[in-house]
Amino acid sequence: MNQRHSTEAAQRPLAIGIDVGGTHIRVSIVENLCVLDGLRQSPTSAFSSASQFFDWLSDSINQLCDLHKCRSRVTSIGMGLPGVLDEPKERLLRSINVPYLEGVALSDDLSRKTNLPVTLMTDAEAATWGAYANLSPKPDRFVHLRFGTGIACGCIRDSKIKPLIRIGQEHLRMLVVDETASAKPCACGLRGCLETIASGKALLHVIQAHGLTLNVAALQEGYVRGDAWCQKLCAEVASSIICAISSVCRELQPDEISIGGGVAKHWPAMIDVVLRDAEKTFTDNKLPMPRIMKTPADDESGVIGAAYLSLQA
Ligand SMILES: [Zn+2]
């Protein structure tokens, strides 16, 4: 690297990306859509109050800035949160996974602690931007479906997040996949949400009831060794996801859909079934088929997207 390039690189603004998920919280410094070494991570369950959460965040940010000797180049913080945000995007109204952050003045408090502007967004928006930012060429209409502890869906149309219409705190109606009388009730108040079938939380309930090791990777292992119950469950979950993807396509007409999250990571065989079987459903229903793919470098989507949006704010 010559002198001029190294000077430009040294002056490029950096952003902190924070991804608060249902299972993990990740913090990193992001430069030009890349996560710098030393990403900090904690289980979400490690905290039970906002003050514990803020102390850990401040320590993590300070450690990362010291590691890279870059405090003066960090210009913003972006934070993705699991739940429903208020309209000015300053507080979390409701969150099943981090209830101790509900109602807290998150952007003001973190901004005061760090002396940096803070942009809040949902975890779905952060992951969607993270998945979209690295695509080349960029599709006009893009959807990210995220199978983590819960299920999130984000849409970018013409380089902007498209707000998805939901009623109150219910899950998206287009992600209701079971309308039969036996549809499972969902914590959101609806019945038959994809959340009750394909979220990490729902799958762990099923795994526990069946007596397998309590993690989603057990479903992958069972599938690979040819276990009949695992193969049947895989087919059922994949079929529900394809049903949801069909509804998403009717409503949002995406050119491209990326699939990410912990369930996709630990149970790749199930996503392979989705990718393999979706085309038949689309052909049968005479729906235009979007490109569907697994999200590359998916673990980092949330922090990259959060940092990226904070720099645009
Ligand atoms: Zn629901």
Tens-place pLDDT, residues 81-104: 988 888 888 899 888 889 999 999
| Ligand 1 center from residue 248 Cα (angstroms) | 16
| Ligand 1 center from residue 233 Cα (angstroms) | 20
Within-domain flag for 17: yes
Q: Given this model, what pLDDT does residue 96 score?
A: 80
Residue 101 tokens, joined: 């952050």
Q: How confident is the prediction for the chain on average, in pLDDT?
A: 92
- Segment 55-63 shows an average pLDDT of 95
Q: Is the confidence at residue 220, as pLDDT, over 50?
A: yes
Within-domain flag for 92: yes
Kindly state whether residues 214 and 180 are assigned to the same domain: yes
| Ligand 1 center from residue 187 Cα (angstroms) | 6
Q: Omega into 254 within 30° of 0, i.e. cis?
A: no
What percent of the chain is modeled with pLDDT above 70? 96
| Ligand 1 center from residue 204 Cα (angstroms) | 17
| Ligand 1 center from residue 172 Cα (angstroms) | 8
Tens of pLDDT, residue by residue over 97-127, are: 899 999 999 999 999 999 999 999 998 899 9
Query: Exposed/middle/buried for 178, CB within 10 Å: 0-12, 13-18, 19+?
Result: middle
| Ligand 1 center from residue 217 Cα (angstroms) | 24
Give the model's confidence band at 1: pLDDT under 50 very low, under 70 low, under 90 confident, else very high.
very low
What percent of the chain is modeled with pLDDT above 90? 77
Kindly state whether residues 48 and 172 are assigned to the same domain: no
Kindly state whether residues 91 and 150 are assigned to the same domain: no
Q: Given this model, what pLDDT does residue 15 score?
A: 97
Task: Assign residue 97 the CATH number of its domain.
Answer: 3.30.420.40
| Ligand 1 center from residue 110 Cα (angstroms) | 31
Q: Given this model, what pLDDT does residue 4 score?
A: 47
Kindly state whether residues 143 and 289 are assigned to the same domain: yes
Within-domain flag for 195: yes
Q: Given this model, what pLDDT does residue 166 score?
A: 76
HEC readout, the chain: CCHHHHHHHHHCCEEEEEEECCCEEEEEEEECCEECCCCEEEEHHHCCCHHHHHHHHHHHHHHHHHHHCCHHHEEEEEEEECCEECCCCCCEEECCCCHHHECCCHHHHHHHHHCCCEEEEEHHHHHHHHHHHCCCCCCCEEEEEEECCCEEEEEEECCEECCCCCCCCCCCHHHECCCCCCCCECCCCCECECHHHHCHHHHHHHHHHHCCCCCCHHHHHHHHCCCHHHHHHHHHHHHHHHHHHHHHHHHHCCCEEEEECHHHHHCHHHHHHHHHHHHHHHHHCCCCCCEEEECCCHHHHHHHHHHHHHHHC
- CA–CA distance, 164 with 121 (Å, rounded to integer): 14
| Ligand 1 center from residue 4 Cα (angstroms) | 54
| Ligand 1 center from residue 58 Cα (angstroms) | 34
Q: Given this model, what pLDDT does residue 153 score?
A: 93
Within-domain flag for 97: yes
Tens of pLDDT, residue by residue over 169-215, are: 789 999 999 999 999 999 989 999 999 999 999 999 999 999 988 89
| Ligand 1 center from residue 158 Cα (angstroms) | 28
Kindly state whether residues 68 and 158 are assigned to the same domain: no
| Ligand 1 center from residue 151 Cα (angstroms) | 9
| Ligand 1 center from residue 190 Cα (angstroms) | 5
Question: Which residue range forms the structural domain that includes residue 193?
Answer: 137-295
| Ligand 1 center from residue 83 Cα (angstroms) | 12
Q: Is the confidence at residue 6, as pLDDT, over 90?
A: no
| Ligand 1 center from residue 193 Cα (angstroms) | 5
Q: Is the confidence at residue 2, as pLDDT, over 60?
A: no
Within-domain flag for 93: yes
Query: Exposed/middle/buried for 174, CB within 10 Å: 0-12, 13-18, 19+?
Result: buried
Say which residue the tokens 């795994």 belong to: 207
Q: Is the confidence at residue 295, as pLDDT, over 70?
A: yes
| Ligand 1 center from residue 257 Cα (angstroms) | 21
Kindly state whether residues 69 and 109 are assigned to the same domain: yes
Strand 14-20 and strand 24-31: pairing? antiparallel
> Nearest CA to 80 among 68, 71, 93, 92?
92
Residue 226 tokens, joined: 């040819």
| Ligand 1 center from residue 153 Cα (angstroms) | 13
Q: Given this model, what pLDDT does residue 9 score?
A: 55
**Residue 257: other Cβ atoms inside 10 A:** 24
Is 84 in contact with 169 (CB distance < 8 Å)?
Answer: yes
| Ligand 1 center from residue 55 Cα (angstroms) | 33
| Ligand 1 center from residue 299 Cα (angstroms) | 24
| Ligand 1 center from residue 5 Cα (angstroms) | 50
Give the model's confidence band at 53: pLDDT under 50 very low, under 70 low, under 90 confident, else very high.
very high
Kindly state whether residues 150 and 287 are assigned to the same domain: yes
Strand 92-94 and strand 34-35: pairing? unpaired
Please name the residues in contact with 313: beta carbons below 8 A apart, sequence gap of 6 or more.
76, 78, 117, 119
Number of domains in the chain: 2
